[in-house]
Amino acid sequence: MTRYYLEPIGLTASPQSEDGAAVRLAGGLVYASRFALVRREGSRTAAREVLGVAALEAGLAQWPETVRAQWDNLRRIHAPLQLGPRTVRLDQPQVMGILNVTPDSFSDGGEFMDKPEVALAHAAAMAEAGAAIIDIGGESTRPGAPGVWEGDEIQRVVPVVERLAATGAAISVDTRRAAVMEAALAAGAHLFNDVSALRHDPRSLELAARTGLPVVLMHAPGTDENLHAGGSYADVVLDVFDWLEQRRDAALAAGIARDRIVLDPGIGFGKTLAENLALMNALPLFHALGQPLLVGASRKRMIGALANEAPADQRLGGSLTLALRAADAGVQLLRVHDVAPTVQALKVWRGLRDAALTDFARIPG
């Protein structure tokens, strides 16, 4: 089977730095001037051609419809997410703050377990620091974590969702169980963040379509309780791209509106250090799927592997590096533990982007 992929590889902060020969990626603050057109035969990369904007547009008519669709997707402008009373714009990176109400999460397990008032205070602090969305999870998905009965997950999540909803915050619930989604929705949640991409529970696709809530579909190779199992790839970037495309199409077929679907490449889930690094370096490609992107690399194991085995609570520097890497790739949603430092980093990043866009002093004229 022959497949094509159109990957932005020449990124720039402004179109004028390329004399206008650059396109805006995904309606954000990142521009691309060069693209790699990759042809894959089965699991083997058969050809790769690097093209500028003019050459790409001139050749579109001779390439398959999938290439033309990816070209349109790369330039697609995404509408804001309406999450309850909050409007989350997707023309710049936004922060999703992590709130784990579990006893065994890899980073902060037990800190907010059975403490809804403490959890609410932490959520409020994240919102005040600039988190656009608060993501509440009642099940640890770290490697080796035991499964959770949906009744226990509901008991952990719902009290926090109820209290947080009263504050007017935009709330995401991190779950793969339809019963938890239903309970969280009734309590005031606005988004479903499913690490199984709506595969784990057979009712999830229909529920998401019926409610009309936005959904995050994350790549994970495993099924059932072990989402990290089975991570074997011929080419991790292209394999994850294909997998996410299939899940996007399954969601569309189930009746979920296209502007309600966010995709996540699943950093750290069933992937080696080298595979995670490859995905981080290839993030711009995933805009070719035509959906907003979410990346959750905060405090992940890959940071410790690259930094003298630093424990999870000492990975801020690495987390910020990965967050800014994602921002440079045009990723719209960054799921993080350390909201205030990330927001500060993004404000400086935005300042640099704005300065580049408005700097015409070195352009002859």
- Indicate which residue of 300, 301, 315, 353 is catalytic: 300
Q: How far is CA 326 from the centre of its chain?
A: 9
Residue-wise pLDDT for 149-176, tens only, equals 789 899 999 999 999 999 999 999 999 9
> Would you write out the chain's pLDDT as a tens digit for each of its 365 residues?
999 999 999 999 999 989 999 999 999 999 999 999 999 999 999 999 999 999 999 999 999 999 999 999 999 999 999 999 999 999 999 999 999 988 755 455 455 556 678 888 999 999 999 999 999 998 877 666 667 778 989 999 999 999 999 999 999 999 999 999 999 999 999 999 999 999 999 999 999 999 999 999 999 998 777 788 878 999 999 999 999 999 999 999 999 999 999 999 999 999 999 999 999 999 999 999 999 999 999 999 999 999 999 999 999 999 999 999 999 999 999 999 999 999 999 999 999 999 999 986 556 55
Half-sphere exposure of 122 (CA within 13 A, CB side): 22
Tokens representing 169 are 């915050």
Contact 337, 319 (CB under 8 A): yes
Q: List, in order, residues 6 or more apart from 101 with CB less than 8 Å away.
A: 112, 113, 114, 119, 136, 137, 138, 156, 157, 160
Active site residue 40: no
Residue-wise pLDDT for 162-219, tens only, equals 999 999 999 999 999 999 999 999 999 999 999 999 999 999 999 999 999 999 999 9
Cα–Cα distance, 249 to 260 (Å, whole number): 13
Q: How far is CA 187 from the centre of its chain?
A: 24
Cα–Cα distance, 163 to 151 (Å, whole number): 19
Active site residue 271: no
In this structure, the dihedral spanned by the alpha carbons of residues 63, 68, 74 and 77, taken in order and rounded to 10 degrees, is 170
Contact 16, 363 (CB under 8 A): yes
How many residues are given for the chain? 365
Cα–Cα distance, 103 to 108 (Å, whole number): 8
Cα–Cα distance, 153 to 161 (Å, whole number): 12
Q: How large is the angle between the packed helices 150-165 and 178-187, nearest 10 degrees?
A: 20
> Between 3.40.50.970, 3.20.20.20, 3.50.50.60, 3.40.190.10, what CATH number should domain 81-353 receive?
3.20.20.20
The type of residue at 183 is: A
- Indicate which residue of 142, 315, 335, 353 is catalytic: 335
Query: Hey, where are the domains in the chain?
Result: 2-74, 81-353
Half-sphere exposure of 51 (CA within 13 A, CB side): 19
Return the closest-CA partner of residue 23 out of 73, 89, 78, 92: 73
